[in-house]
Structure 1
């Protein structure tokens, strides 16, 4: 790893565990996540290259109903495979041709035994570095860290060390973060984080992002990223924090200032720039709008939603 890009200065085991536990507790269900069959995973990866995942599910299931094994696909008429691809509107028909050719290679050149490493998988027609690594990860738990646009966005936002670098070495950093020998769950988890919580318009609190405690973007309110070149006006705004207050109070009957503050931003400190005075101003605005009640009793400030 180059000297100008260091790993995040956090307890990496805690960071890793938080992400994996978040993923394993609740994630989107896609049928290819329930299999380790390299053929089924390769089909899903090729189909997903130009198609929304929700649309891929039906096409993937229909494809496997028609050609359930790599041997069945290798024996199929290529025109039938291309026709299916076109009917399902799955993007460039060359991908169907390459997938059919790759199936033939597995059957004829590899005697039906799938190559298992990213390097060996790239010998298959139409299988580039990203797809090879995905199949190695999800089928054999033998891949490197997957680095797609979503993952770059997550890493850029989460860690100031990347944000502050002129030329972030995403692959090296991603591989250093990934727990050794756990590419299947890790790559699924970090891609899920980018696809669900850390979207172009982030949904940090709504999706319970497990990295909020460390996330540079969450702490600063700056959610720019390589594919988000301009700062969304909502992020880091008073309007955003007002919304967080209302959501937090909606989950509790009432909260004191120092109970509410950490629920609104992770860098809340009672006497800091974003402390009690800052929070009181937001609450005052919400009170003026008739949204919250503020009770000053015995030196304590307690707030709740307006009934």
Structure 2
């Protein structure tokens, strides 16, 4: 299609049919792919952000066993939801807070019925354009073409689409069959996750686009630049999670009691000391997860700082 960026084949129907047939013939089984419940799909999308899908399956099943509906989640204690998130190593705790708030919105503001368009879904707390479109696609078959890192890599390699967000959006939308966002978005993301990974498996995965693929023809399998995800181990994100876990167990903690439970090398006046811990607590307070109380000292020393999970 000459009007599109890159080298998209003129026979778009053949490209579409090949991908959908490949996907429907054999694909990875994930439980959220066999449901059209928007709540269950929203939970999977939030959990899947920067978390390996294999690890998400167990967490998703456990989460839905504990809070099977949006109404159940809305009634839950937020500290319990955050504690679950932390115990399953699902990343930033504010995602748990936002998911809890979104469930409350659906229950109280939408009479328990999820909105069904990408624009309306973005009215829910913490639901950005990508997640809103994914839920609209997979729950309601009412979305636009999904454009994530995997999809960009596929389009860049297969059809020589330039590394430009507008170009990726244009080509992805043109390729998607009208009214088939559910199967199409699942299929193109599966292609990126199975056949066109960082190290491609074109023949091994029987990639359906090999006959048109620019990278397969030229042997050039470079991919768009992707920001490197910082290591979780020892990160500020990990430490925030530990704070939440400790406060869930001990209810409230003075600064110098909390510190050693977060880092074994905690020293009040050291690099990882009171100032560092105050910063973590300030971030968690801004996210609505922790309350920090400053207590006046009776002497001339520094007043005591006590932290607890916000209820």
Q: Note the C-alpha offset of 1:5.
A: 2.3
State the aligned residue count.
Answer: 227
- Counterparts of 1:42 and 1:94, CA distance in 2: 15
Q: Which runs of 5+ in 1 are unaligned?
A: 230-307
- How do residues 225-244 of structure 1 correspond to structure 2 at under 5 angstroms? 225-227=223-225
Residue 205 of structure 2: aligned partner: 207
Q: Note the C-alpha offset of 1:50.
A: 2.2
Return the match for 1:219 from 199, 217, 227: 217
Residue 170 of structure 2: aligned partner: 172
Residue 279 of structure 1: aligned partner: none
Counterparts in 2 of 1:4 and 1:181: CA distance versus 1, 3 Å: closer
Is the 2:32–2:44 Cα contact (8 Å) retained in structure 1? yes
- Counterparts of 1:167 and 1:43, CA distance in 2: 26
Counterparts in 2 of 1:121 and 1:15: CA distance versus 1, 3 Å: same
Is the 2:4–2:170 Cα contact (8 Å) retained in structure 1? no
- Counterparts of 1:4 and 1:204, CA distance in 2: 24
Question: Structure 1, residues 204-256: CA drift from partner, whole Å, max 9, x if none?
Answer: 00000000000011011111110389xxxxxxxxxxxxxxxxxxxxxxxxxxx
Residue 41 of structure 2: aligned partner: 41
1:107 aligns with 2:102: no
Q: Give me the TM-score of the superposition, normalised by structure 1.
A: 0.71
- How do residues 184-195 of structure 1 correspond to structure 2 at under 5 angstroms? 184-195=182-193
Runs of 4+ in 1 over 4 A off after TM superposition: 1-4, 165-168
Q: Note the C-alpha offset of 1:4.
A: 7.0
CA RMSD of aligned residues (A): 2.0
Counterparts in 2 of 1:62 and 1:4: CA distance versus 1, 3 Å: closer
- Counterparts of 2:53 and 2:69, CA distance in 1: 22
Aligned residue for 2:41, secondary structure, equals: helix
Residue 17 of structure 1: aligned partner: 17
Residue 78 of structure 1: aligned partner: 78
Counterparts in 2 of 1:10 and 1:126: CA distance versus 1, 3 Å: same
- Structure with greater contact order relative to length (CA < 8 Å, sep ≥ 6): 2
Q: Note the C-alpha offset of 1:74.
A: 0.6
Is the 2:81–2:100 Cα contact (8 Å) retained in structure 1? yes
